[in-house]
Amino acid sequence: MHHSHIDKFAQGRSVIHDLDARTKLLGVLAYTAVLISFSRYAVWELAPMAILPVGMLLLGAVPLGFALRRVAILSPFIAMVCLASPLYDHAPAVLALGPWRLATTAGWLTALDVFLKFLFGVLALTAMMCTTPFALLLEGMRRMRMPRVLILQLGFLYRYLFVLLDEAMRIRRGRDFRGGRQAPAVRRLAAVGGMVGSLFVRTLERSDRIHVAMCARGYRGEPHSLSHLHFHVADFVFLSGVAAYLAACRWAYPLLLKG
């Protein structure tokens, strides 16, 4: 397993990739805040909210199928919560589209609304992450005055994530090859304890070695980065465009719907 599993689109080039990491982070944060501020029965009002995430994915050359697969993997919990809603809210409601009218209940409207918000929110986050290398995002967050220790910690997590995942997979493969599945439950549990425990001990020792190696290379609690972030004209255009778009979605469009 390698970083390319999660990062394969982030290294490309496109108009969206070329934007500053801070621009995209601010844009997606504002988008998410506006998204959850819609009322729980707003179904059609949400339609234009699809434009920003899908647009970012399209212009960033990220396959829509990839993004939708992410949504599918993440959806079981939210789907369960959504499907519980029609059981409790039976107030009659109408879903109208052009000449068609569907009599339904407020519970179903809520379910649809929450699921759409979930879909758009995950797509927006996916669009941001698939067009921004994680290191640049961390650099952007550092420039936005997030605590330096936290940023460094996230950097270490990302750097060693796949190193340790590989190690865990090797341990697991070893157990499976030794026929660990046939053992009685207590033995299997003890085996899992030994596997996780030894992984923990190895990780502690590894982090000590990393620290010593970093100190030997002149680390004094400050990260050194070669990455440069600059706001360009495109960033201002993007941010003002997003602001105008969000204002239109949140205030102008619902007024239009209400007539």
Residue of 65, 145, 149, 218 interacting with another protein (CB under 8 A)? 149
The C-alpha atoms of residue 104 and residue 125 are separated, in whole angstroms, by 32
User: Is there binding between residue 48 and another protein (CB under 8 A)?
Assistant: yes
User: Is there binding between residue 259 and another protein (CB under 8 A)?
Assistant: yes
Residue of 2, 66, 88, 213 interacting with another protein (CB under 8 A)? 88
Looking at 52-60, 225-233, 235-243, which segment touches another protein (CB under 8 A)? 52-60
Q: What is the footprint of another protein within residues 223-242 (CB under 8 A)?
A: none
Residue of 2, 144, 178, 196 interacting with another protein (CB under 8 A)? 196
b/e map of 105-138 (b: 16 or more CB within 10 Å)? Answer: bbbbbbbbbbbbbbbbbbbbbbbbbbbbbbbbbb
Q: Residue for token digits 């899908």?
A: 54
Among 228, 225, 237, 245, residue whose Cα is nearest residue 16: 237
Residue of 68, 135, 152, 229 interacting with another protein (CB under 8 A)? 152
The C-alpha atoms of residue 92 and residue 89 are separated, in whole angstroms, by 9
Q: What is the smallest separation between the CB atom of 241 and another protein, expressed in angstroms?
A: 12
Q: What is the smallest separation between the CB atom of 34 and another protein, expressed in angstroms?
A: 10
The C-alpha atoms of residue 197 and residue 104 are separated, in whole angstroms, by 54
Say if CB 107 and CB 88 are below 8 A apart. yes
User: How many residues contact another protein, by CB under 8 A?
Assistant: 120
Q: Residue for token digits 């990220």?
A: 62
User: Is there binding between residue 79 and another protein (CB under 8 A)?
Assistant: no
Q: What is the smallest separation between the CB atom of 170 and another protein, expressed in angstroms?
A: 10
The C-alpha atoms of residue 66 and residue 131 are separated, in whole angstroms, by 13
Residue of 68, 135, 158, 234 interacting with another protein (CB under 8 A)? 158
Q: What is the smallest separation between the CB atom of 230 and another protein, expressed in angstroms?
A: 18
